[in-house]
Structure 1
């Protein structure tokens, strides 16, 4: 798997099929993998949040999520085959776990959401072994939750908590979790449980999922995406200038 570095962030160039196979192979050998996806917002936030940046850079596998990052990487000369959206990878890994008999643990969301997520995934994949689950509001007893995960026998852990909390939590506790794979999945449980709708496929392919979120929650999202997308555009312009200057030296 080829690794590149743009915007001071390492990223792995891989298709979703290659990613699933790579993770499955490592899990079958009980080799620990810390995984993360990067999108426009995360790259922008990494530039001002050193803890988030460190947790991302320490990951064993860093997939490119978000068409904005795919297009930026291609513009900077990297042959990125496709985006590996976190929610799509999550669903593929759950299916793989059901087939291979790998126990999974779901952490995050409200109690209702994580329960509905487990129920829907069990209905979709009857052979799935759910080692356990826990809601995402546990910050007064982190160690207790970590011990629950560790004693569950789970091989794969999915953490549905907002960024940067999930990345920092994983980085802090990864050696105590007792799992073979850990991945932050953001708001994925809300989508699986039916609480939030995902953008239509054409909007995903066009890199317009952010617009779909703004339409759903305009008061909360418009300012966030305006600022984030503007900062990312400036980062890309600077990277292009540096690349051009470097090519002429």
Structure 2
């Protein structure tokens, strides 16, 4: 467990802010070519890890687990170990692209549908011409495809962004990260869909009111079953608080 981590249902969350995390801690690791595995976890991921021990063991191998989801922030406050702020995959992705590194940042994007990843890659090169987008590939491939991983490793990216959703993106990282000499590996869920314009990011006012989850649900009503995880998660947090006051 990371120093000063906040334990939420046995998952150690790293207390940090996006700016501090990306532009200080992770920048140093990238400059020093240290391999890094980051999990951005929300209540749904915590609940999934609770009932799937293999997945739980995977994410506990991460160098950092950060709070992506207002439910995690609420839980940390209930437990009197408040985390500083949400550290979302989407926001970190943009901060990575702005990072002032010793040399041009080499990025690989893996995930989403073919038309989405193509559009997202085009957007990145237009918005951030200072980075080197060394490659991209859609997320519809066999996880046993070792040639894809070997080809990616040969490009020596500094950051590998995986937008395949959990648990698939973490399974890929655990399976193939050892093929890479260096690299920061991070699962960012549906961020490529937003970057490509397939989905809209919630307006600032919705984010400030902690209603981004509702905005996304309105865009994707089929997600309602997944939202059931949040009240169940908070009930477990209350029980954890009562058991360990």
Shorter chain as normaliser: what TM range? over 0.9
Residue 135 of structure 1 is matched in structure 2 by 138
Distance 2:182 2:34 in 1: 9
- Shift of the 140–31 alpha-carbon distance from structure 1 to 2, 3 Å rule, reads closer
Residue 229 of structure 1 is matched in structure 2 by 230
Aligned positions of 1:70-89 closer than 5 A: 70-89=73-92
1:53 aligns with 2:56: yes
In structure 2, runs of 5+ residues without a counterpart are none
Q: How many positions carry a matched residue from both structures? A: 242
Whether the aligned pair in 2 keeps the contact of 1:98 and 1:127 (CA below 8 Å) is: no
- Shift of the 232–33 alpha-carbon distance from structure 1 to 2, 3 Å rule, reads same
SS, match of residue 101 in structure 1: coil
Distance 2:72 2:46 in 1: 9
Distance 1:165 1:217 in 2: 20
Deviates more, 1:95-104 or 1:110-119: 95-104
Displacement of 1:180:
1.8
Residue 166 of structure 2 is matched in structure 1 by 163
Deviates more, 1:1-10 or 1:57-66: 1-10
SS, match of residue 26 in structure 1: helix
Normalising by structure 2, we get a TM-score of: 0.93
Normalising by structure 1, we get a TM-score of: 0.92
Q: 1:108 aligns with which of 102, 107, 111?
A: 111
SS, match of residue 31 in structure 1: coil
SS, match of residue 83 in structure 2: coil
Distance 1:130 1:159 in 2: 14
In structure 1, runs of 5+ residues without a counterpart are 245-249
Aligned positions of 1:1-40 closer than 5 A: 2-20=4-22, 21-40=24-43
Displacement of 1:236:
1.2
- Shift of the 72–115 alpha-carbon distance from structure 1 to 2, 3 Å rule, reads same
1:208 aligns with 2:234: no
What is the root-mean-square deviation of aligned Cα atoms in Å? 1.7
Distance 1:105 1:216 in 2: 28
SS, match of residue 14 in structure 2: strand
Displacement of 1:98:
7.6
SS, match of residue 13 in structure 1: coil
Displacement of 1:45:
0.8
